[in-house]
């Protein structure tokens, strides 16, 4: 089964060796050197269990060239086409002794530039001066996420676990969801590898138990324009050539 067929069927796929050790080291060095200076910003979240940077490419524009290397460009172009753009980027660092876990959920919100009353757009929230909303399902179905792994990720340090094929059921109310309704996979990914997933795939992560950190760059993509003056808050174009 090829990449796009596996994504459409299972809701996710894992591809190893997308980045060299040198590329990963450059990303980590840049994040650590610049990030320490900017932890006072609203886009940064720091706790004992999690360090996160929202709007990652806005904070680290120099990372764009490394992230969109020839391997990733080829993967995107071959499997999705050349009309996609970045809609959200987040850096996650789950520390060695993190007790942070996330229960099963779907990624149902997008980040936008303002709040507008539009049909099909609901569940508005504002966090750190950023507007988020649940768009119509057809927009979510035209999105995908790439997670770049900066560390070896296993079930012991919070690798994502997913319910295979759950994306095919559309938007599901959490009170109607049970993990027993499908096969569960633990998405272990080696340093330099990526996971591609659909936002409607049910996914979760456990606490860290092996004293090893898990650093991930989470990037969301879409090819849909938003209606009536509503715009993506963090739209980043990139060249696949």
Residue 42, pLDDT > 80, answer no
Domain of 155: which CATH number?
Answer: 2.60.120.620
The verdict on residue 236 lying in a domain is: no
56 pLDDT tier (thresholds 50, 70, 90): very high
165-194 pLDDT, tens digit per residue, is: 999 999 998 877 776 667 999 999 999 999
pLDDT confidence of residue 178: 72
The verdict on residue 232 lying in a domain is: no
Residue whose C-alpha is closest to residue 156's, from 188, 184, 180: 188
Mean pLDDT along residues 113-118? 95
Instruction: Say how many C-beta atoms besides its own lie within 10 A of residue 210's C-beta.
Output: 10
152 DSSP 8-state letter: -
11-39 pLDDT, tens digit per residue, is: 999 999 999 999 999 999 988 876 555 55
Residue whose C-alpha is closest to residue 235's, from 106, 83, 119: 83
More confident of the two residues 47 and 218: 218
The verdict on residue 38 lying in a domain is: yes
- The H-assigned helical ranges of the chain are 3-10, 21-35, 56-59, 63-67, 70-80, 137-141
pLDDT confidence of residue 137: 97
* pTM recorded for the entire structure: 0.93
The verdict on residue 229 lying in a domain is: no
pLDDT confidence of residue 210: 87
228 pLDDT tier (thresholds 50, 70, 90): very high
201-215 pLDDT, tens digit per residue, is: 999 998 888 888 899
Mean pLDDT along residues 224-231? 96
State how many domains the chain has.
Answer: 1
Say what percent of the chain tops pLDDT 90.
73
More confident of the two residues 129 and 166: 166
Secondary structure (DSSP) of the chain: --HHHHHHHHSEEEE--SS-HHHHHHHHHHHHHHHGGGTTSTTEEE-SS-EEEESHHHH-TTHHHHHT-HHHHHHHHHHH-S--EEEEEEEEEE-TT----EEEE----EEESS----TT-EEEEEETTEEEEE--HHHHHTEEEEEEESS-B-GGGT-EEEETTGGGG-S--GGG--GGGS-EEE--B-TT-EEEE-TTS-EEE----SS--EEEEEEEEE--PPSTT--BTT-B-----
Contact 195, 189 (CB under 8 A): yes
Q: What is the mean pLDDT of the chain?
A: 90
Residue ranges making up the domain that contains 26: 3-222
133 bridge partner residues: 110
Contact 11, 203 (CB under 8 A): no
The verdict on residue 234 lying in a domain is: no
The verdict on residue 75 lying in a domain is: yes
The verdict on residue 60 lying in a domain is: yes
């Amino acid at each position: 089964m090829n990449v796009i067929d596996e994504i459409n069927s299972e809701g996710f796929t894992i591809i190893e060796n997308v980045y060299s050790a040198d590329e990963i080291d450059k990303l980590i060095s840049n994040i650590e050197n610049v990030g320490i200076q900017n932890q006072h910003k609203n886009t940064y979240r720091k706790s004992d269990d999690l360090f996160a940077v929202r709007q990652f490419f806005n904070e680290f524009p120099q990372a764009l060239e490394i992230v969109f290397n020839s391997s990733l460009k080829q993967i995107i172009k071959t499997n999705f086409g050349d009309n996609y753009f970045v809609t959200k980027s987040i850096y996650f660092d789950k520390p060695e002794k993190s007790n942070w876990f996330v229960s099963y959920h779907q990624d149902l919100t997008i980040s936008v530039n303002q709040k507008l009353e539009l049909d099909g757009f609901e569940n508005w929230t504002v966090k750190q001066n950023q507007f988020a909303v649940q768009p119509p399902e057809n927009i979510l179905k035209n999105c995908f996420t790439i997670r770049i792994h900066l560390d070896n990720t296993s079930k012991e340090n919070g690798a994502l676990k997913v319910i295979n094929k759950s994306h095919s059921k559309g938007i599901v109310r959490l009170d109607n969801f049970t993990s027993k309704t499908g096969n569960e996979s633990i998405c272990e990914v080696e340093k330099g590898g990526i996971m591609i997933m659909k936002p409607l795939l049910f996914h979760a992560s456990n606490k860290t138990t092996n004293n090893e950190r898990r650093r991930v760059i989470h990037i969301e993509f879409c090819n849909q324009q938003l209606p009536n003056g509503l715009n993506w808050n963090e739209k980043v174009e990139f060249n696949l050539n």
